Amino acid sequence: MGQCFSRSDDQELDDDEVAAMEKEFSNGTGRAMPLSQAELDRFGQRFTAQMNKNNAMYAYQHNGGSRLGSSKTSNAGLMYHVDSSPSVFEHNAQAMLYHQPGSSAGAMAAHNAKSATLGTTPSSLESSNGGGRYGRNREPVNKVVAIYDYNNRVEGDINFKKGDIMILMDNSNNDWWFVEHKKNGVGYAPRNFLARLDSLESEEWYAGKIQRTLAEKLVFAHNLPRGTFLIRKREPPSEYALTINDSKGGENNTYEVKHYKIRPLDGGTGFYITTRKIFPTIRDLVDYYTRESGGLCSRLTFPAPKIAPVRPDLCHDTQKNWEIPREELQLQRKLGDGNFGEVWLGTWRSVVQVAIKTMKPGTMSIEAFLAEAHIMKQCNHPKLVRLYAVCTLGDPFYIVTEYMKNGSLQQYLRNDDHTLGTQALVDMCAQVASGMMYLESRKLVHRDLAARNVLVGEKIAGVPEVKVADFGLARKLVGENIYEAQTGAKFPIKWTAPEAATYGNFTVKSDVWSYGILLYEIFTFGHTPYPGMHNREVIEQLEQGYRMSRPQGCPEPIYEEMLKCWDRNADKRPTFEYLYTFFDDYFVSCQPNYVPPSVQSLDVMMH
């Protein structure tokens, strides 16, 4: 029978007690008691091997006056109940040890020694069979699987390969999870590289919340065969979509894609594409349509490839400590010059490839610089360039960001020589709108949206990935959602809405105006707007109602959206949410149920 007792801090376990505890852990009876830090260290050294052998789990809880209630034993093993248990465990010199036979081993002592918080607790473990809080003789659901490789070689982070299974020990941080790896020990891993074991996210065919156009590109990547598929999240959140490569092959080199809505039953008790066939889970649905087409355009054959995510930070430690020593940066190649400084390709600790912006001395105060960097750091979206760190201790200031290998969209378009088709151009419009929709939702105004401030990364199935950059002018909107620029501030007139250029009033709607100019840049392959006009003439012409004509080759519906963005009445301009939906659905007509028309002539995307 398990035991429960207390003792004062100055009492320590003697050798007989240690031997007795080892025996109890060996036979599965176990007990719990407060331990000092010295005992934690000693216990960890003495018992880790024994506990691993017995497939047991232990955790330390801050003993802030909470006491152990009665312990219970059964055929399933010993379980302790705590009268008052905080939801998050904190490191403390006095901690509580729990032993639960039949669950997985965890090396939390190292995590505890670093004063980190613990999130996987005996009071929060869920049984895999749903039998009560703990269940009987089952492992707790606290395993994760790597869905991408991660190799950082930084102290505190843990390296792993795709498919590795690990114990989740702390998930209190949204971006970094603390895990135990069977071979590599314990450490932090980026959350977006992991999925809970047996979750939808862990499936090879699940792509999460991605654009429809990106889904189409992925099922065609690398000349994959008919039936290549993925499942993505839709709006509303309870719905999903199945995207299938329906290419027939042949001499015409025609690519076709089908999208099917996956709807939930009321109450979430099942899923279906057609009500004639209902499945308990999406996994069951995929298994069925893998065996037979069942009315779909094709049987499901291969999962489409996934795109590796961007790391949330340089490492776990820089998530909060993002002022880094400049000695940790290696500047390798100059990428360009700007009004405020230079841009370099570099590495951090010779491990992570980054872009480094140097700020000319005197450009802005350290207070203003850090305030603007803080806004960038808080923005986390796949279509916004990620800020990693800054260096402000000495001149010049450094801004360290995610590296986008193909530079600015403006230069990329000018160098393209019109090889990008309408499909690719529309896709880039949707990507930018997605990033701006995120800023819109956070009531952030960019103030300098233009092709020069959109960066281009790798091609995905022939279409460039683009992200919004340069938040140097970004501001949080307050009050009436208007930001008033300082007197004497300079603006890029040809990209700036009339009310912002004239009165200095910036809103999300003035960003929408700039987005319309960006559309013009994209469909003219990087031409400067209002060709032949100087700034004063542009302002005068806009006051008289002038708007640029439709670019050659630009589809009429897209030009109509440009004109909406340039409405004199800011309130009548569309939202970025609307613009994103327009471009993401541009090639798809809404038909009853789930089968949109084919997408033709995507061969340019496969080059």
| Tens digits of residue pLDDT in 227-262 | 999 999 986 667 899 999 998 765 555 678 899 999
DSSP structure class, residue 570: G
Contact status, residue 513 vs residue 565, Cβ threshold 8 Å: yes
Nearest C-alpha neighbor of 257 from the set 322, 301, 212, 318: 212
Dist CA 453 CA 489 (whole Å): 19
Q: Which pLDDT score, from 0 to 100, does residue 348 have?
A: 95
Q: Which of 164, 448, 470, 584 is catalytic?
A: 448
Rounded mean pLDDT, 375-386: 90
The answer to whether residue 34 scores a pLDDT higher than 50 is no
The answer to whether residue 524 scores a pLDDT higher than 60 is yes
Question: Residue 513 is encoded by which pair of tokens?
Answer: 């105006």
Radius of gyration of the chain (CA): 29
Nearest C-alpha neighbor of 447 from the set 511, 539, 374: 511
Using a pLDDT cut of 70, give the percent of the chain over it.
69
The torsion angles phi and psi of 232, rounded to 5 degrees, stand at: -130, 160
pTM for this one?
0.71
Q: Which pLDDT score, from 0 to 100, does residue 13 have?
A: 53
Higher local confidence (pLDDT), 316 or 115:
316
C-alpha distances out from residue 145 to 89, 103, 161, 373, Å: 24, 17, 9, 33
Contact status, residue 51 vs residue 86, Cβ threshold 8 Å: no
Question: Residue 409 is encoded by which pair of tokens?
Answer: 């969209």
The answer to whether residue 606 scores a pLDDT higher than 50 is no
469 φψ region: left (φ > 0), alpha (ψ -120 to 50), beta (else):
beta
Three-class SS of residue 42? helix
* Of 283-297, 392-406, 465-479, 554-568, minimum mean pLDDT range: 465-479
The answer to whether residue 196 scores a pLDDT higher than 50 is yes
Beta-bridge partners for 330:
347
Instruction: State yes or no: is 448 an active-site residue.
Output: yes
Would you place residue 296 in the very low, low, confident or very high pLDDT band (cuts 50, 70, 90)? very high
> Which residues does 79 contact at the CB level (< 8 Å), separation at least 6?
71, 72, 100, 122, 134
Higher local confidence (pLDDT), 363 or 125:
363
459 assigned ligand-binding residue: no
Nearest C-alpha neighbor of 197 from the set 167, 173, 230, 231: 167
Higher local confidence (pLDDT), 4 or 563:
563
Dist CA 335 CA 341 (whole Å): 11
- Strands 34-35 and 79-82, sheet pairing: unpaired
Q: Which pLDDT score, from 0 to 100, does residue 467 have?
A: 97
Other CB atoms closer than 10 Å to residue 289's CB: what's the count? 23
Q: Which pLDDT score, from 0 to 100, does residue 460 have?
A: 80
Nearest C-alpha neighbor of 468 from the set 494, 444, 443, 449: 449
Rounded mean pLDDT, 315-327: 93
Beta-bridge partners for 355:
345, 401
C-alpha distances out from residue 357 to 4, 206, 329, 337, 378, Å: 59, 36, 12, 9, 19
Nearest C-alpha neighbor of 104 from the set 56, 137, 138, 144: 56
Dist CA 163 CA 377 (whole Å): 30
User: What is the average pLDDT score of the chain?
Assistant: 76
Q: Which pLDDT score, from 0 to 100, does residue 322 have?
A: 93
Q: Which pLDDT score, from 0 to 100, does residue 32 have?
A: 42
